[in-house]
Amino acid sequence: MKSRPGFVLEVDKSTPPILVWHGEGFKVQKMPVDSRIIYPKEPISALEDPDTAVRQALENPLGDTKPLSELLFPSMKLTIAFDDVSLPLPPMEAPDNRQRVIEAVLNLAAEKHVEDVVLIAALALHRRMTDAELKHCLGERIYNSFAPNGLLLQHDAEDPDNLTYLGKTEKGEDVEINKRAAESDLIVYININLVAMDGGHKSVATGLSSYRSIRHHHNVATMQHSRSFMDQSNSELHSSNWRIGRFLANEGVKVFQIETTLNTDTFPKQFSFLQKREWEWTFKDRLSFSSVSKALELTPGNLKTSIFNSIKAPHRLTSVQAGEVEAVHRVTTENVYHQQIVQVDGQSDILSLGLPYISPYNVNSIMNPILVACLGLGYFFNLYKGKPIVKKGGVVIMSHPTPLAFHPVHHPSYIDFFDQVLSETTDPMEIQTNYEEKFATDPWYRHLYRTSNAYHGVHPFYMWYWCAHALDYLGRVIIVGGNHQAVKRLGFASATTFNDALEIAQDVVGSSPSITHFHVPPIAIAEVS
């Protein structure tokens, strides 16, 4: 079935209440007449025969490179790196793209009798994946072949014995990556490009890199000059990664990039109403919405988190590209745009967002207040090409309960960041100058990152830096229905209802502001003219 394009709806009196995410729940909300709603494009058709498509991509590479089978030889060191648990969102139903592609790569490697093969989860500074997560993303067959033999590794950005320092780029950025990867005859990197920000040189230059290297592009100045992350040509984050990637290529690190794109079929059938346009909700949809909402209201918090964490997305593979990194990424980005771009005419005074329960950094975990800020201001605010959806000095209204809760195993440094840093200042530059190094080099956080399932000590700083552009750009940020204490600590205004938030916003944008609501799910990128 042909998917209908995304569009901008002008709200009128006949527009029904619209669905708005609110963390681990959702609500319907009547939008003011004359406001706008950005509706994403419907999920595009999946590849009919994904396995054949993967094989064909490996044998018909893009850019200046040979087919994968010709790059493989028996005595070689082959490293297969893959994206970690932060992609896709929510985790996809089995088989995951990574399993599908790695199986195809391993079949070719086996045909060529390649014996030295190692799999590495490209964690960067993310938490280590659990065995269950690894099994889900790679499949039992791959996991059982590599994990028991110590050949399934998780990148450790703090292991001095397993990092190789290669030098500095022309802009003085340190380049240090995983030793096994650096010494391999070939790195095959398998990527899931959920949004246009993912992939390209960022895969190796960030995913297999160390804090020493990553700090050059994960900082306030870079983030403030990335407009946006979804538009590589205007993203300083990408420019830095591209410099590092090219440096690696010049140093002889050979990367065969495989990138996959997904459609936006994000939720299983029982939640199908989430992706429907509200005026097309059938009686069944309305009943599902009401019963699910009511059931969630009555469900205890922990159980609710478990229920949402168990959701697996029915994402389907829409394209696969393989070959030289930049050539591959150009095509991939176009394919992502094909699914996600929505044309938006002009900016508005207020951007309204309903934030869901999940972000890249709380898969199987808890969405803490810092991640709420990052999801809203780092990700959703940046889902644009051209200009931000909201005007300079405008207001972002986000709907999320923002619970004052942290996962003690996954986010230990977040707890201290929230208590010790945000209580002093919310200014990203001041935070970077005065606090980053202390957290980044803290031996306890380093220990937890390396041996437990904790994010790196510096990770909450990066989350706050992701917000830097929005914090600098916006006049006010309001969270609807959030924990008052948590919202206050973040430096945002708190409102009980959307209408209250509009009243608060009037102080900044006047009494008759233009309003745009970004409807999710699924995800979209607004190309604002």
Name the CA radius of gyration of the chain, rounded. 22
Residues facing residue 448 across a β-bridge: none
Token pair listed for 84: 């970690």
Place of tokens 């306890």: 444
Residue closer to another protein (CB basis): 116 or 500: 500
Token pair listed for 17: 């209440």
Q: Does 492 bind another protein (CB under 8 A)?
A: no
Residues 47-86 that bind another protein (CB under 8 A): none
Q: In this structure, are residues 194 and 88 in contact, taking their beta carbons and an 8 Å threshold?
A: yes
Among 17, 74, 301, 408, binds another protein (CB under 8 A): 17
Among 3, 15, 69, 234, binds another protein (CB under 8 A): 15
Q: In this structure, are residues 294 and 228 in contact, taking their beta carbons and an 8 Å threshold?
A: no
Other Cβ atoms less than 10 A from the Cβ of 48: the count is: 7
∠ CA 231-235-241 to the nearest 5 degrees? 115
Q: Residue 60's closest CA among 258, 202, 196, 201?
A: 258
Residue closer to another protein (CB basis): 132 or 287: 287
Residue closer to another protein (CB basis): 8 or 147: 8
Min separation Cβ 508 and another protein, Å: 28
Q: Is 396 helix (H, G, I), strand (E, B) or coil?
A: strand
Residue closer to another protein (CB basis): 19 or 175: 19
Residue closer to another protein (CB basis): 278 or 416: 278
Q: Is 376 helix (H, G, I), strand (E, B) or coil?
A: helix
Among 10, 131, 251, 507, binds another protein (CB under 8 A): 10
Q: Does 499 bind another protein (CB under 8 A)?
A: no
∠ CA 342-322-264 to the nearest 5 degrees? 30
Min separation Cβ 9 and another protein, Å: 6
H-helix or E-strand containing 145? Answer: helix 140-146
Place of tokens 């918090």: 301
Q: Does 16 bind another protein (CB under 8 A)?
A: yes
Among 3, 11, 59, 162, binds another protein (CB under 8 A): 11
Q: Does 12 bind another protein (CB under 8 A)?
A: yes
Most distant CA atoms of the chain, gap in Å: 71
Residue closer to another protein (CB basis): 269 or 283: 283
Look at phi and psi of residue 400 and say left if phi exceeds 0, alpha if psi is from -120 to 50, else beta. beta
Among 115, 254, 279, 408, binds another protein (CB under 8 A): 279
Q: Does 292 bind another protein (CB under 8 A)?
A: no
Q: Does 161 bind another protein (CB under 8 A)?
A: no
Among 28, 151, 292, 331, binds another protein (CB under 8 A): 28
Token pair listed for 372: 């709420």
Among 287, 295, 303, 409, binds another protein (CB under 8 A): 287
CA distances to 67, 327, 406 from 63, in Å:
10, 5, 45
Contacts of 422 (CB under 8 A, 6+ apart): 370, 489, 490, 491
Min separation Cβ 211 and another protein, Å: 50
Among 60, 290, 423, 499, binds another protein (CB under 8 A): 290
Residue closer to another protein (CB basis): 33 or 303: 33
Min separation Cβ 31 and another protein, Å: 10
H-helix or E-strand containing 516? Answer: strand 515-518
Q: Give the Cα separation of 392 and 350 in Å (integer).
A: 10
Residue closer to another protein (CB basis): 26 or 229: 26
Q: Does 32 bind another protein (CB under 8 A)?
A: no
Place of tokens 């930049």: 326
Other Cβ atoms less than 10 A from the Cβ of 276: the count is: 14
Q: Does 415 bind another protein (CB under 8 A)?
A: no
Min separation Cβ 201 and another protein, Å: 42
Q: Give the Cα separation of 423 and 421 in Å (integer).
A: 5
Q: Does 42 bind another protein (CB under 8 A)?
A: no
Q: In this structure, are residues 196 and 337 in contact, taking their beta carbons and an 8 Å threshold?
A: yes
Residue closer to another protein (CB basis): 12 or 64: 12
Min separation Cβ 477 and another protein, Å: 28
Contact region with another protein (CB under 8 A), list: 135-143, 147-155, 237-245, 280-288: 280-288
Token pair listed for 366: 């808890």
Termini Cα distance of the chain: 30
Residues 90-109 that bind another protein (CB under 8 A): none
Residue closer to another protein (CB basis): 12 or 161: 12
Among 247, 281, 381, 384, binds another protein (CB under 8 A): 281
Q: Does 296 bind another protein (CB under 8 A)?
A: no
Min separation Cβ 498 and another protein, Å: 14
Q: In this structure, are residues 207 and 155 in contact, taking their beta carbons and an 8 Å threshold?
A: yes
Q: Does 346 bind another protein (CB under 8 A)?
A: no
Other Cβ atoms less than 10 A from the Cβ of 160: the count is: 10
Contact region with another protein (CB under 8 A), list: 174-182, 281-289, 356-364, 373-381: 281-289
Residues interacting with another protein, by CB under 8 A?
9-17, 28, 278-281, 283, 286-287, 290
